[in-house]
Structure 1
Amino acid sequence: MRIFRIAPLVLALAACSPPRAPAPAASPRPADSIPEIEFDHRGDTLVITDTLPNGLVYYVRHNAEPRNRAELRLVLNVGSVLEDDDQRGLAHFLEHMAFNGTRRFARNEIIDYLERVGMRFGPDVNATTSFDETVYMLQLPTDSAGVLDTGLTILEHWASGIALDSAEIEAERGVVIEEWRRWRGAGARVSDRQFPFLFTGSRYAERSPIGDPEIIRTFRHETLRRFYQQWYRPELMAVVAVGDFDAAEVERKIREVFGAIPAYGGGPARPEIGIPARDSARVIVTVDPEITSTALSVNWFRPARRDWSPPGFRAGLVESMFVGMLGDRLNDMSLLPDAPFLDVGSYLGGSLRPVETFSLSAAVPQGGVERGLAAVLTEVQRAARHGFTPAELEREKAEFLRMWEQMYAERHKTTSGQYAGQYAEHFLRGGLLRTLDEEWVMLNAYMPGITVEDANEVARGYAAMRDRTVLVTAPEHAGTALPDERRLAAIADSVARAPVTPYRETVSDAPLLAQLPAAGSVVSEEFVPEAGITRWTLSNGAQVVLKPTDFQDDQVLFAATSPGGLSLLPDSLYLHGRLATAAVQVGGVGALGLTELQRRLAGKAASVGTTISELYETVNGYAAPRDVETMFQLVYLYFTAPRRDTAAWEAFRQRGREMLRNRGATPESAFGDTLTAVLTQRHSRTRPFTAAMYDSLDLDRALTIYRQRFADAGDFTFFLVGSFQPHEVRPLVERYLASLPATGARERWRDPGIRPPAGVVERTVRRGVEPQARTTLYFTGPAQFSREARSEITSLADALEIRLRERLREQLGGTYGVTVSANVSRDPVPQYVVAIDFNTDPDRLDELTRVTFAEIDSLRARGVPADVVQKVREAHRRSKETSLRQNDVWLTSLMEYQRLGWDVRAIDDAPLSATLTPERIRAAARLYLNRRRYVRVSLLPEG
């Protein structure tokens, strides 16, 4: 299994666009040499799709995953690239206005209605605007009469009936400006410079979806209405409905509701905006005082191609092989001491609709841009001139096939949201509505015939391309020489002429596990039928909790936990304890270093990792059912055979020093460090990592701590959730878990004495150049711990978040969003925390803080309205409906219930918030929102 990060194109704007599958590339072989395949191509016969007389397209499909839910989309082939000069940012502004009133729903009634049926603004109700499209998204329950009908009505109102009331437009200016403000910082400033450079000569260079803040503040109302009337047209729209419903009935309703929208006549055709090709390499260096590390990316662009034929599908497979193999080579290099880059990633796909992008990005040591750029480009040249090896291709094929096998095995569990996303992409970008079954046939027909030469030809194509752009970002320091753009361009060109030796790799023939351990046994068994849980006690004293499920067909999740953790270490070893698991992560296990381990796991869906927290040591893992034994072998090795690798450790220290060299430059780091210092009263164990700390690290100390923490498996509890049966995994549990060493001792964690301050503490951090402010309020104190207390405090947080959103965002337009979180914890001592966090204009920070405290006072005095309580109750009920069919939720819940001694039969009970009342919310507010005990830390710009 490859442990390699696939990084997006180094652009902040990537966050504005939804992820897209790589577009099929042209075949590197002549078309007549591609073997023909025959299969019964009928496409996705379960989706009902048609075009209404007014031009609107619809897609309808029944799908019962998750149960009693539907996903609705209004998809518009309209984005910021269509804006006129005086409309920059108004495509996104219009998306906001859709929630602020339509011809039937008054201001905020849409959100109010959807929250009353249990949906949350953000996770279930949202919208997104990018350069080329706008998508409105609703998730709705289908077991409540009329809700789905109302959802379709809301989509139709967004399509043709947004009110665009003048007063509402004025009120929303502040919210959109706050969204713009929220994302300002070094990353935004870098994008402001890089994006126009990347796409010079195209409207994409000057049509960021967030827009021009001056236009947002001053545009005339008619300018927004003009965009709506010009571009929100039925022939540019699609409605997508996928869910647990009668598809024929939903189709009938769509035809009735959306067919009434008049056809739009006489408007301009939706233009296709292009991006000019370049005939040379270009370089831009961007420096900023708040950038923490030096990075580069090399980006190759080519026109987007739309070849959906079987040969085009095969070409896409070949390109994926190339990207994966090249990525593995670069990743292996980054793990070596004195590597030319510290971290590396690759991306292949669509960044903007007109182009496809292949990008290699890397973090490099300070002052190492030239060396890093030469190294990245040299690997492309090495692949182009000398090719890949058969062993590399076979590993990549195995990895790729295993990924597809998992998708194919889970095809019947595809969620409605996934289908809705596929149909939206089909409307926006065209293509064929193929099924996974059809693609599986093509994959198995083409994959065996893909050769090393196919991948080598792709490498030669990229090595020869001249349309490439190098982006460099670096910290700005007085007296520090900056990378020279002309010299970097010369290096990029010279690599093509420099000698390159063939790739060589050393492959270990050591087995994953040299000798099977002598099996232990299960000595006792208990079955809890109400929860479907089996408990085993093993011969070494360890406990095992098993929960078979049918939620996913190809997923088994694993975890293990034991009390102790870092709390048992003296302060002098605490730093080494924090990095003990990192020493094993980079060093490998058994006879295999990290690179060899990755190669050995190619084609297997199995992974294991370890952590040591303050109070516990933990193992986490996952596997496909057929690879469960490999997962158990890895667990055994991580307990018994951590590997010492001095070269990997030194490379890890170098990366750590470099990544933290300029950490303190960011306002966020200064803010977070101050908040932590205040909340923990500057406890020595909560000091932030610094670059200097890596100089004091000793590998043997770290490994000694690791071995101590995982030396005794007898006080661990192991958990297994997913697609298995207890009798199937029992031999593996006895072989690999019951055989782990145990002493019979039972450890407990030690209270490290970290406590929040009593009373009121307020701090202000002045850092950064952007006009941003942020404040965080922490209410903390001792608590009575119980399930009921946890339910009440989380319900209080949800109710307070609704109220603060209504006041701070909707009424005052002072922030883009407010986050309220809360918890009552038992260990190491029972205590509560309620955290409130928001961003705003520095000039309005005190005002919004006063309003926040006023809402808290109101909550303490009068509670919240009954409708808010009903929203919280319904949201909790609806959330639990879906979460109880997720393996990760069950795993987390089982671990928590075991640790706290709760009855596992209560996991699938109705939420305790079902009995919530306004009076209980008020009582919780009086208990947990104590005006005499809180921490407030605020961030303001310098000067």
Structure 2
Amino acid sequence: MRFIKPIALTFLLPTLYCTTPSTAATSLRAEARAILAQDTVSWNQKLPFDNEVLTGKLKNGFTYYIRRNVEPEKRVTMYLANKVGSILETDDQLGLAHFLEHMNFNGLKHFPKNELVNYLQKAGVRFGSDLNAYTGFDETVYQLPIPSDDPELLKNGLQVMRDWAQDALLADDEIDKERGIVMQEMRGGRGVGQRLQDQYFPIVLNGSRYSKRLPIGTEKIITTFKPETIRKFHQDWYRPDLQSIIIVGDIDVKDMEARVKALFSDLKAPAKKLERTRYNVDLLNKNQFIAITDPELPYTVAQIMIKSKEEKTVTVKDYRKQLLISAFNSIVADRFSEIMQQADAPFMQAGGSISGFIAGLDVFSLMVVPKPNQLEVGFKKMMTEFERIQKFGFTQSELDRAIISMNKSNETAYIEKSKKKSDSYVGRYLNNFLKDDAALSNDDSYKITKQLLPTLTLKEVNALISKYYTDLNRDIIIMGPEKDKATLPAEQTVNNWIKEVESQNLTAYEDKVSKLPLLSKEPVKGSVVSNKELKEINVKELTLSNGVKVILKPTNFKNDEIRISAFSPGGSSLYPDADYYSASNAAGLVDASGVGQLNNVELQKYLTGKNIGITPYISERYEGIYGSSDKEGLKNAFELIYGYFTEPRLDQDVYQSIIARSVGSLENRDSDPSNVFSDKVKETLYGDNIRRKNATADLVKTIDKDRAFQIYKERFADASDFTFTIVGSFTEEEIKPYLENYLAALPNLGRKESYKDLGIVEPAQGKRVVVHKGKEDKASVQLAYYGDYTYSESENINMEALESILTIKLLERLREAESGVYSVGASANYGKLPRQRYSFGIGFGTAPDKVDVLIKSAVDEVSKIKKSGPVKEDIDKFVIEQKRQLELQLKENGFWVSYLSGSYQNQEDVTEILRKLDDLSKVSVESVKAVADKYLKEDRMFEFILLPDAK
């Protein structure tokens, strides 16, 4: 487990950036000056459009973007964008933009009823993860990634896009069936977040039309609208002048353009065309305040939103301003990251950022999640930092680090441009069509960013706080647990807090950068003593002089990416229950403390501008390292690995901060229905076993700093039984010096260790367990089977087939036929060590009064497969999906590092992956039937059901 429970916030903090000494910034400026002298751009110049995409507009107003990109090969991604969302709905159409999105999967001119999903599944396209769509306030977007090496499939894929554009059948019976599905989606989305949003949305959206047009709609409209109403919405708004197709992939661009022209030129606009009004959220030029509570909210959140008019990015000067804002946000994130390292930080999370918001607005959003009963002090601490920034600004060294990080990101993106995935281009063209945003080419983005970064000045970045941190158009939202309702502050109280902060005598931030090297001493070099070549999969297995085993797989899947994973048997299983929380959290505490001579704050500054992430871990059966680097950062990456073995640290302030924040985030965890449900499930399966219980405040308090550090050092005291897997863009000659200088220098005690089989298994007899918790009228169901397993390649692939095929049948039955769920699926898990065990689950959400009938339906689908096996068509769907996924996986560094490391852990033949296609061809009706009958035993099935509070 991880001891810090993630905090789900209404508004997210910006991504944290690394920082670095200012000397590199000086070099960057010199380099950029040379570039600027050769090839400058005018700040007033309009940003150039991407010259690598073919774009055009048909006579009927339909727009297209077509780009060739061969990553991945033999694939194409198609999107249909519509400038049509819930904002266009009339009062009797609430929710119908989203409902229409659903209907485009339930009957098209060339794919009646559910034939669309069925046809694409036969081509290996997964419903939900590949084939999907979304509806927002202002747009509805459909996506279809498909193979491009099948001419018939490519032709039909385009036909799907054409049908989506205007040829939904909208049959009465299909509409009525879909009502229940949309209601289940609405029901599933209800909860504490939605209830709070219902209250604060009218404020943050200034009472605008947007606050009255949530895409999900209303229950009354969804359940009662007449089919003519949605047909009218379709006729009015699904028209070519509001539509665009985006096609990126391994295709012939000119051929694709001809196909688009042939297919989409006959799209018709309605005889009477309604005006597509562009709605905005107007500024009210006043401040607003709301304090709200909910019984299921486990912590207090305070949010300040300062709204301003959006400034579009049209010219180079506008783009430069966005770079200034990015630098500002990155420095703020670093400041708050540093504060959170302090033992007495009064909040669990805090920060702020400037960003785009909605409908013509930008927002400066400040947020704090205080520790329990510390709202005032946490709020003031958060505000104090922004006051400090306003009074003193940032330091030049902070800006230098931000610029270096941004430059590194720019360089990395440019290096990887030839390996860029097709999906990553879609957003660029979507935003250009939907929002008129700039769409820069890879080369222009790199060049302009490279030229502009060195021109950013500290004065300009500091000026942003005055521009966005104002006392007008400010919304303050306080959200807390219902039990704290009486103590939540009033508006005047919060205003007084702000005035008190403004009147403080503050001192400027001091940017402390360590001049010490990461390691206190250089490693003593070792050597490679043997190697073994596995030519079939281009892998080498090396043994180092200290016993460390290294698995190398050089690839060309990325231009500059290296993945690293290492493991050693042991883990927390070797320690008694009393030490479990100290053992399982030891690596996390060490990771948060820095390494060698640098604490975590100093380390992040040291690593500025480097694409490096190295993390130690201790799991139940293993300890190890995982991470990644580029070639430039390899020396530092191996320094970190060496440091985590030989010079770990666990700082007192970090320990106190993490424990306090973790305890605070868990204090009211029982107010969340999902936590109560999960606790009961684990209690049923594992009793009071501390190693399977969810984290609680009391359990976190059992973490002993000294014991955790002692355990960590014990686990990493001996590298002789470690296996390192390294995959990516390197050659053996390039990586070998790091193996000898760092990995071969790791300590060698010659221990012979293994993990301990703790004997923790689920009961052999299933049972029904019902939990009542929650305000919303919704239910959650988990059906689960557990038991001993016969681990083999054949058994594994048939279990995966059972998972995939049963998911198809459950969707067809529970969703499409019975309209009882929005989503449902099966999941299979199996393992070889420490003993061969499996679990198989079925999960869905629904209405409380549908629970029993849907469980009966799900079990009936299981029984059908056990009795007669699956239909051959569903096996074919599974096989083609697996083949198509395998094609992609075999060209991913992440897949190979995971596969190779897992194979060595399980002591399996690493070349088995080459026989995967043969294994797939052996999956049959009989083989799937056999595993279903063997493992899905009726008496083993647990029924876990979460229902709302009894009334």
- Show the counterpart of 2:92: 86
What's 2:298 paired with? 292
Residue identity opposite 1:902 in structure 2: E
Q: Within the alignment, does 1:477 sit opposite 2:483 as a pair?
A: yes
Distance 2:384 2:41 in 1: 33
| Residue number in structure 2 paired with 1:627 | 633
Q: Is the CA contact (8 Å cut-off) linking 2:46 and 2:314 kept in structure 1? A: no
Is the Cα contact below 8 Å between 2:410 and 2:450 reproduced in 1? no
Paired residue for 1:746?
752
Contact 1:278 1:466 in 2 (8 A): no
Q: Is the 1:559–1:618 Cα contact (8 Å) retained in structure 2?
A: yes
- Look up the match of 2:946: 939
Q: Which runs of 5+ in 1 are unaligned?
A: 15-33
Contact 1:607–1:634 (Cα < 8 Å) also in 2: no
* Counterpart contact for 1:54–1:264, Cα < 8 Å: no
Q: Which moved more, 1:415-424 or 1:64-73?
A: 415-424
Partner of 2:74: 68
Partner residue in 1 for 2:923: 916
Partner of 1:183: 189
Match of 1:396 in 2: 402
Question: Residue 813 of structure 1 corresponds to which residue in structure 2?
Answer: 819
Contact 1:57 1:237 in 2 (8 A): yes
CA distance in 1, matches of 2:662, 2:303: 21
Q: Secondary structure at the match of 1:464?
A: coil
- Secondary structure class of the residue paired with 2:174: helix
Distance 1:645 1:103 in 2: 65
- 1:794 deviates by 1.0
How far apart, in 2, do the equivalents of 1:316 and 1:821 lie? Answer: 44
Alignment of 1:232-631 (within 5 A): 232-464=238-470, 466-477=472-483, 481-492=487-498, 495-631=501-637
Following superposition, the deviation at residue 432 of structure 1 comes to 3.4
SS at match of 1:461: helix
2:236–2:270 contact (8 Å) kept in structure 1: no
- The question of whether the paired residues in 2 share the 8 Å contact of 1:679 and 1:935 is answered with no
What do the CA deviations read for 1:374-410 (whole angstroms, capped 9, x no partner)?
Answer: 2222222211221111111111111111112111111
Q: Kindly indicate whether the alpha-carbon contact (under 8 Å) linking 1:607 and 1:623 is maintained by their aligned counterparts in 2.
A: yes
Aligned length: 921
Q: Distance in 2 between matches of 1:316 and 1:7?
A: 28
Query: Are the aligned partners of 2:519 and 2:647 in contact in 1 as well (CA < 8 Å)?
Result: no
Q: Distance in 1 between matches of 2:139 and 2:43?
A: 35
Q: Distance in 2 between matches of 1:404 and 1:677?
A: 49
| 1: CA distance, partners of 2:49 / 2:233 | 36
Aligned to 1:546, what secondary structure does the other structure show? strand
Partner of 1:58: 64
2:222 corresponds to which residue? 216
Q: Tell me if 1:10 matches 2:17.
A: no
Structure 2 Cα separation of the partners of residues 828 and 9 of structure 1 = 38
What residue is the counterpart of 1:707 in the other structure? Answer: 713
Residue 374 of structure 1 aligns to a residue in which SS? helix
User: More displaced, 272-281 or 255-264?
Assistant: 272-281
Moved more, 525-534 or 498-507: 498-507
Deviation beyond 4 Å, 4+ runs, structure 1:
4-9, 37-42
Task: Measure the CA separation in 1 of the matches of 2:677 and 2:309.
Answer: 43
Contact in 2 for aligned 1:9/1:361 (Cα 8 Å):
no
Change (3 A) 1:826 1:224: same
Deviation at 1:11, TM superposition (A): 5.0
Deviation at 1:162, TM superposition (A): 0.4
Shift of 1:847: 0.5
Distance in structure 2 (CA, Å) of the matches to 1:347 and 1:812: 46
TM-score of the two chains, using structure 2 as the length reference: 0.94
Output the CA distance in 1 between the equivalents of 2:130 and 2:605: 40
- Which deviates the most, 457-466 or 197-206? 457-466
Question: Which structure 2 segments of 5+ residues have no match?
Answer: 15-39
TM-score of the superposed pair, with normalisation by structure 1: 0.95
Relative to structure 1, the CA distance from residue 6 to residue 239 in structure 2 (aligned partners, 3 Å threshold; closer, same or farther) is farther
- Residue 38 of structure 2 corresponds to residue 45 of structure 1: no
CA positional deviation for 1:7: 10
Q: CA deviation at 1:41?
A: 7.6
1:332-382 per-residue CA deviation (whole Å, 9 max, x = no partner) reads 112212213221344443332322223232211122222222222222221
Partner residue in 2 for 1:20: none
Contact 1:587 1:593 in 2 (8 A): yes
507-516 vs 847-856, greater mean Cα deviation: 507-516
The offset of 1:790, in angstroms, is 0.9
Q: Do structure 1's residue 197 and structure 2's residue 178 form an aligned pair?
A: no
Match of 2:800 among 756, 775, 794: 794
- Paired position in structure 2 for 1:21: none
Matched to 1:576, the amino acid is: S
Which stretch shifts more, 674-683 or 66-75? 674-683
Instruction: Give CA-to-partner distance per residue, 1:616-642, whole Å, 9 cap, x none.
Output: 112111111110111110011111111
The 2-side partners of 1:867 and 1:111 are apart by 13
The Cα shift of 1:84 comes to 0.8
The DSSP-based 3-state class of the residue aligned with 1:530 is helix
Q: Which amino acid aligns with 1:205?
A: S
Contact 1:5 1:345 in 2 (8 A): no
Residue 102 of structure 1 corresponds to 108
Asked if 2 retains the 8 angstrom alpha-carbon contact of 1:11 and 1:191, the reply is: no
Q: 2:144 aligns with which of 138, 145, 157?
A: 138
Partner of 2:633, secondary structure, is helix
Larger displacement relative to structure 2 (886-895 or 255-264): 255-264
Is 1:684 the counterpart of 2:690 in the alignment?
yes
Q: Which moved more, 1:874-883 or 1:695-704?
A: 695-704
Alpha-carbon distance, 1:309 to partner: 0.9
Contact 1:283 1:471 in 2 (8 A): yes
Check the 8 A contact 1:775/1:939 in 2, yes or no: yes
Instruction: Please report how far the alpha carbon of residue 215 of structure 1 lies from its aligned counterpart in structure 2 after TM superposition.
Output: 1.4
Deviates more, 1:784-793 or 1:90-99: 784-793
CA distance in 2, matches of 1:136, 1:502: 50
| Aligned partner of 1:775 among 748, 771, 781 | 781
SS of the aligned residue for 2:128 comes to coil
Equivalent in the alignment of 2:765: 759
Asked whether the equivalents of residues 81 and 204 of structure 1 are also in contact (C-alpha less than 8 Å), the reply is yes
> Residues 281 and 489 of structure 1 are in contact (CA less than 8 Å); yes or no, is this contact kept in structure 2?
no
Whether the 8 Å contact between 2:281 and 2:359 is mirrored in structure 1 is no
* In structure 2, distance between residues paired with 1:813 and 1:306: 43
2:833–2:906 CA contact under 8 A, matched in 1:
no
Partner of 1:928: 935
Contact kept, 8 Å, 1:9 with 1:351, in 2: the verdict is no
In structure 2, how many angstroms separate the alpha carbons of the residues matched to 1:432 and 1:323? Answer: 21
2:428 maps to amino acid? Q
Counterpart AA for 2:412: Q
User: Secondary structure at the residue paired with 1:942?
Assistant: coil
Using the TM superposition, give the Cα deviation of residue 462 of structure 1 relative to its aligned residue in structure 2, in angstroms. Answer: 1.9
Provide Cα deviations, 1:893-930, integer angstroms capped at 9, x if missing partner. 00111112222222244342232111111111101111
The whole-number CA distance in structure 1 between the counterparts of 2:350 and 2:571 is: 32
CA contact (8 A) 1:678 1:935 kept: no
Give % identity.
35
Residue-by-residue CA offset, 1:252-303 (whole Å, 9 max, x unaligned): 1110000011234431221111112133332222211111111222222222
Task: Report the secondary structure of 2:691's partner residue.
Answer: helix
Q: Tell whether the 8 Å contact from 2:5 to 2:662 is kept in structure 1 after alignment.
A: no
The secondary structure found in structure 1 opposite 2:701 is: helix
Contact 2:71 2:420 in 1 (8 A): yes
Give deviations 1:502-557, integer Å, cap 9, x for gaps.
Answer: 22233322211232211111100112111010111000101000111111112111
